[in-house]
Chain A
Amino acid sequence: MSTTAVYIHVPFCRRKCLYCDFQSRPYRGQDEADYLEAIRREISLRAGEETGPADTIYFGGGTPSVVSVHVLPAVLDAIARSIGIAAGAEITAEANPESVRPDVLAAWRRAGVNRLSLGVQAWQDTLLRALGRLHDRTAVVRAYELARAAGFTNVSVDLMFGLPGQTMRDWEETLAAVAALGPEHVSAYALQVEEGTLLHRLVSLGRLSVPDEDTQADMYELLRAAMAAAGYEHYEISNFARPGFRCRHNLVYWHNGDYAGFGPAAWSHRGRRRWGNTGDLAVYAAKLAKGVLPVEQEEVVNDREAMGETMMLGLRLVEGISDAEFRAKFGLGVADAFGPEIAALTARGLLVGRDGRWQLTPRGLLLGNVVFGAFV
């Protein structure tokens, strides 16, 4: 019996960050009650859809740490009853440092959460304030220590670079501080100025400026060097882990595997079908109250598209794509499916084939869109 990757979207934040384009809304008690009731209905309605117990569960958001202490355990309980949770499952929850409390951590641990992803973002209070974050450096250290004290042996830290006003020195300091803390896993994202965000507006109005392309590239190279020096393996464009601590849940995405997403704005993927729930909490709750699934978007991909998506996702992994696995999935090799693309990208030094795998070169890691764009 195969296993399942489960994603749970928690759509609440205490406050929206400047750069955020995720589905979230300010936290309110009544919304939380509606949400919990609705997501339990969704989980139970979709019980028949899954093929096996959850092997990974990921609470993302939003900010899972802002909801009441009973919410995550209640959702896990619903999953256990409808889908099942495999022994040794990886269960991650995202948390923001300012909302990490001993009682929350203890409750999560008891409910089975065994991996904590801390939204640290930066080490400089000025940068954190400018991003609209609610924590400071002291809160990071406190949250990290609380997590360790609560028994979390698998902690991940999220960082951002290319922030408005961020210097190379800031970034260096951030990386050194994180290495000193010593989490098992680090995700580091280049700030993306997404349309529709407050940040986008400020940047287009010229009120804020972000570091240029060259500085961002330098920051990325510094990141790779610092993480390697601190003993982390670089395993995905933006992800680093101590041996044995890669995020199993996210690996499912990058292997273009199946996953089941619950909650407003959550996406699911099964075979050739990918579908997404409505992001509107009221609509989400109202539909489920009537016993109707709140699906709003749906895409069915053909063979060619599935191959392209497999490339786009798989090449994000530093180890790349196994030609044998690709062949097992689609009945032909990568070079058979994408001969001209592979040839052009290899000639440009962005892609390399070795030991039966196709991988981005170090330069290709920084120019991933050029590569991905060739396949989709």
Chain B
Amino acid sequence: MNPTAYIRNFCIIAHIDHGKSTLADRILERTQAIPARQMTEQVLDQLVEERERGITIKAKAVRLDYQAKDGQKYVLNLIDTPGHVDFSYEVSRSLAACEGAILLVDATQGIEAQTLANTYLALGHDLSIIPAINKVDLPSARPEEVRQSLKDVFGFSPEECLVTSAKTGEGVDDILEAIVQRVPPPAGDLGAPLQALVFDSHFDPYKGVIAHIRVVAGQVKPGMQIMMMSTGRTFEVTDVGVFRPAMTPVDSLGAGEVGYLAAAMKNVRDCRVGDTITEKDRPAAAPLPGYRPALPMVYCGMYPVEPSEYEELRDALEKLQLNDAAVTFEPETSEALGSGFRCGFLGLLHMDIVRERLEREYGRELIVTAPNVVYEVTTTKGERLRVQNPAALPPPSTIASLAEPHVKAQIIAPAGFVGDVMELCQGRRGQFINMEYLGSDRVLIVYDLPLGEIMFDFFDQLKSRTRGYASLDYELTGYRTEDLVKVDILVNGEIVDALSVIVHRDEAFAHGRLLVEKLRRLIPRQLFDVPIQAAIGGKVIARETIPARRKDVLAKCYGGDVTRKKKLLEKQREGKKRMKMVGSVEIPQDAFMAVLKIDK
């Protein structure tokens, strides 16, 4: 008897807000992985941010015992996947750990961009897909329409598509049965050299890095010498176990099984998502396919508000990195902001999450500069440089060419909004690729866009122009040379390096003008006139002046007021502390993010 015959490894894929976490909660309840008393909503989403944003960032795995209608006991491994495009690499590694996927589609919304992207990703991994139409309890549910579009777009037969309400629990039993019947058991040779896929990790202060693994071949047990195939580093296994969802030790994990492994690894970078773990003395012939180191796509500067808190910020970043190998940082010095760090992220959402964690969990007060993509410079001497900070761009005379990353963006919107979507994409230097009807009303619009153009407010604009109906997914396609220039901002005659941006030459003038206008409104009046200029090279392209402050005085101060007025003046001074002195000008923190909020 194949020991893996009663194992099913599956995940749930869905567009954001289509009910993935709620379905996971119901499945956990039905299989009694968690006593009802301990059940909190969306138990798999542990981080506060995940809960508040309603999205799942870190993949996790839970082992469930399920008594199927055929009388057999099954082990179901539910592998949770992140639901945001920033984490698409992590999604692909989670999918690689499964044999099946529940494709959850909101009955009121239908197929959306991430439905499409995730489904193709799952099909690419040869997963058995169980389509399930969710939220059928809602009055606005149109399950038949969704069933039809699942057929039209992906070719699922209407009989394959289950209906459910994760909220009420309706149809959840059918889904569990379908997992048992339709998802194949994992294959794998217990006697072969170990191959275990790392699909996630977290840091435990006592055990070090905990690798979340799917064993593909062989087996792993405590005491074994293992090797990370991407780095060749070796460790001795101290613990293996499964998530129920609490960490529960087991004697060994064999081919087909999902669980965790600890090996006194001190750094999450020793245990990269996507890497293959094998045996030191009997290594597998080849690693599992698909590994690539997480490559930051977006960079920004993070500076302590108080220059003296530089070390504390470094400590916080180091601690945070223990749990998040995708964050990178290196020291950076800004003339305007002093000493801080250039930090790299998978995307804007990832950046926001990290910033919030630094502020909330680590109590850091930060100045964050506007994010930018990584540019590729070819110098006139033929060198190639990766530029992570616009301020660090070499002088124009030494640049032979400048390239920026492009993405293929897939947007799904109701047919009536096609014009609006296209107008938005054209305005962001988009190049139309193709368009295709998904059923009668929904249209898939594919554009090539510079990543830098969709970083800022593209998604918000997309939502507002389509009354919230459009969805977006994108993938990096590579670098392309463009006519890009650096726009510097001068405050009171001095370049504020942290405000420099790289934009297309055609947009430089408009961008510079909008930015100086924005800054004029954001920077409070000082004791003297402050000119704000935008310049390319030495040439000023826009100018505004913040007039000197004229009035700031308390009209009254009599006996009883003294204590109160003192407090008021102290409060004013505290407010100033949160400003950054650049030369002799006080600049509020949010001015450094101003570039982000420019309405085009």
Q: Tell me if B's interface is mostly helix, strand, loop or mixed.
A: loop
The answer to whether A213 and B559 have CB atoms under 8 Å apart is no
Per-position contact with A for B520-564: 1 when CB-CB < 8 Å, else 0?
A: 000001010000000000000000000101111111111110110
Interface size on A, as a range, is 35 or more
The complex places the Cα of A226 from the Cα of B17 at a distance, in Å, of 66
Given contacts A366-B550, A368-B553, contact A250 B558 (CB under 8 A): yes
Q: Which of B551, B572, B573 contacts A220 (CB 8 A)?
A: B551
The answer to whether B527 and A192 have CB atoms under 8 Å apart is no
The answer to whether B559 and A253 have CB atoms under 8 Å apart is yes
The answer to whether A376 and B570 have CB atoms under 8 Å apart is yes
A191 CB contacts on chain B under 8 angstroms: 555
A-B Cβ contacts below 8 A, count: 94
Whether B565 is near chain A, meaning CB under 8 Å from some CB there, is: yes
The answer to whether A312 and B565 have CB atoms under 8 Å apart is yes
Q: Which of B550, B558, B566 contacts A376 (CB 8 A)?
A: B566
Given contacts A309-B566, A312-B566, A376-B569, contact A369 B560 (CB under 8 A): no
Given contacts A367-B527, A373-B569, A376-B569, contact A7 B553 (CB under 8 A): no
A259 CB contacts on chain B under 8 angstroms: 559
Q: Which of B552, B560, B562 contacts A370 (CB 8 A)?
A: B552
Given contacts A348-B527, A376-B570, contact A367 B553 (CB under 8 A): yes
Given contacts A376-B569, A376-B570, contact A313 B551 (CB under 8 A): no
Q: Which of A7, A190, A269 contacts B555 (CB 8 A)?
A: A190
The answer to whether A373 and B527 have CB atoms under 8 Å apart is no
The answer to whether A369 and B569 have CB atoms under 8 Å apart is yes
The answer to whether A190 and B551 have CB atoms under 8 Å apart is yes
- The closest CB in chain B to the CB of A369 belongs to B552
The complex places the Cα of A268 from the Cα of B558 at a distance, in Å, of 11
The answer to whether B566 and A367 have CB atoms under 8 Å apart is no
B559 CB contacts on chain A under 8 angstroms: 7, 252-253, 259, 261, 267-269
A268 CB contacts on chain B under 8 angstroms: 559
A189 CB contacts on chain B under 8 angstroms: 555-556
The complex places the Cα of A190 from the Cα of B525 at a distance, in Å, of 19
Whether A276 is near chain B, meaning CB under 8 Å from some CB there, is: yes
- The closest CB in chain B to the CB of A265 belongs to B560
Interface size on B, residues (CB 8 A): 23
B558 CB contacts on chain A under 8 angstroms: 250, 253
Given contacts A266-B560, A269-B559, contact A217 B565 (CB under 8 A): no
A350 CB contacts on chain B under 8 angstroms: 527
The answer to whether A369 and B555 have CB atoms under 8 Å apart is no
Whether A68 is near chain B, meaning CB under 8 Å from some CB there, is: no
A143 CB contacts on chain B under 8 angstroms: none
Whether A44 is near chain B, meaning CB under 8 Å from some CB there, is: no
Whether A336 is near chain B, meaning CB under 8 Å from some CB there, is: no
Per-position contact with A for B275-307: 1 when CB-CB < 8 Å, else 0?
A: 000000000000000000000000000000000
A103 CB contacts on chain B under 8 angstroms: none
B557 CB contacts on chain A under 8 angstroms: 253-254, 312-313, 316
- The closest CB in chain B to the CB of A277 belongs to B560
Within the complex, the shortest CB–CB distance from A55 to chain B, in Å, comes to 15
* 21 A–B contacts from the bound complex (CB under 8 Å): A7-B559, A190-B551, A213-B525, A214-B547, A214-B551, A238-B555, A253-B558, A261-B559, A267-B559, A267-B562, A276-B563, A297-B563, A299-B563, A312-B565, A313-B562, A367-B527, A367-B550, A369-B552, A370-B527, A370-B552, A373-B572
Additional A-B contacts beyond A266-B560, A309-B566, A376-B566 (8; CB < 8 A): A190-B553, A238-B555, A250-B558, A261-B559, A366-B550, A369-B552, A369-B572, A370-B527
